[in-house]
């Protein structure tokens, strides 16, 4: 499923991230690409071990921990530290599938990539092109969100980034291993959680809502891998 997570970063946090990224030293984006991706990838990336990447990554992870939409949709178990890229001057990323397993640099921790994430740092009007195009069961979905918004999508999806023909596209990208490996089961739980929260806002708590909440948690208990 494709899920929009709005306002992960505030306007002030977006400006802070943008300034750090614009002042930083960039490297070839292929440093984190597998063989398949390296044949299609043409962009710039902040070095993973740089102070800029670490500080911005910590800011994003803290913001995500406060997002109820993110927590409900992703049900995160392990998160690969956020990475940061830049597309400009016609740079693009051809069609590919993300690597199934990512090892966190400098650690023995391995993350199964269930969900891929892109957090937009540049506003859509600041660049031309640069759409994230994701193939799903409903066809090609083009994503170009406002700065501070994020998209979640299954890491099994074919996807690409169209050429940036004008301006500069700054974004963060990373992956997570969910407690629920199945995208279909995550969708069921997300829809159920969303419905329960909606009911709680429109009517007083009731035995039926309590029962539905119990069904949600029993499904989560049955399906979760921790």
**Same-domain pairing of 153 and 191:** no
**Same-domain pairing of 28 and 47:** yes
Mean pLDDT value across the chain: 94
For the record, the structure tokens of 211 come out as 């029962």
pTM, 2 dp: 0.92
**Is a pLDDT exceeding 80 seen at residue 38?**
no
The gap between the terminal CA atoms of the chain, to the nearest Å, is 21
Band (pLDDT 50/70/90 cuts) for residue 205 is: confident
Residues 60-78: what's their mean pLDDT?
Answer: 98
**Same-domain pairing of 174 and 200:** no
Structural domains of the chain, count: 2
Residue with tokens 């990554």: 57
**Same-domain pairing of 12 and 109:** yes
Give the span between the Cα atoms of 225 and 199, in whole angstroms: 28
Give the span between the Cα atoms of 143 and 131, in whole angstroms: 6
Residues 37-56: what's their mean pLDDT?
Answer: 86
**Same-domain pairing of 102 and 193:** no
Q: Give residue 66's pLDDT.
A: 97
Domain that holds residue 209: 183-223
N residues, the chain: 226
**Same-domain pairing of 158 and 91:** yes
Residue after which a domain boundary falls, among 142, 158, 178: 178
**Same-domain pairing of 133 and 204:** no
């Amino acid at each position: 499923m494709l899920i929009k997570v709005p306002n992960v970063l505030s306007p002030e946090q977006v400006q802070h991230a943008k300034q750090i990224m614009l002042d930083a030293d960039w490297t070839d984006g292929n440093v984190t690409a597998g063989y398949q991706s390296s044949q299609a990838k043409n962009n710039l990336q902040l070095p993973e071990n740089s102070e800029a990447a670490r500080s911005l990554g910590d800011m994003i992870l803290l913001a995500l921990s406060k997002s109820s939409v993110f927590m409900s949709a992703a049900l995160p178990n392990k998160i690969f530290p956020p990475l940061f890229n830049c597309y400009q001057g016609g740079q693009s990323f051809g069609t590919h599938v993300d690597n199934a397993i990512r090892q966190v640099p400098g650690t023995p921790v391995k993350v199964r990539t269930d969900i891929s994430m892109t957090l937009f740092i540049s506003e859509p009007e600041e660049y031309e092109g640069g759409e994230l195009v994701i193939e799903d069961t409903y066809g090609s979905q083009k994503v170009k969100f406002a700065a501070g918004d994020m998209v979640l999508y299954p890491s099994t999806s074919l996807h690409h980034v169209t050429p940036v023909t004008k301006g500069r596209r700054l974004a963060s990208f990373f992956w997570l291993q969910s407690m629920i490996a199945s995208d279909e089961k995550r969708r069921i739980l997300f829809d159920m959680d969303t419905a329960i929260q909606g009911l709680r806002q429109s009517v007083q708590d009731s035995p039926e809502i309590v029962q539905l909440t119990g069904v949600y948690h029993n499904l989560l208990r049955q399906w979760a891998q921790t």
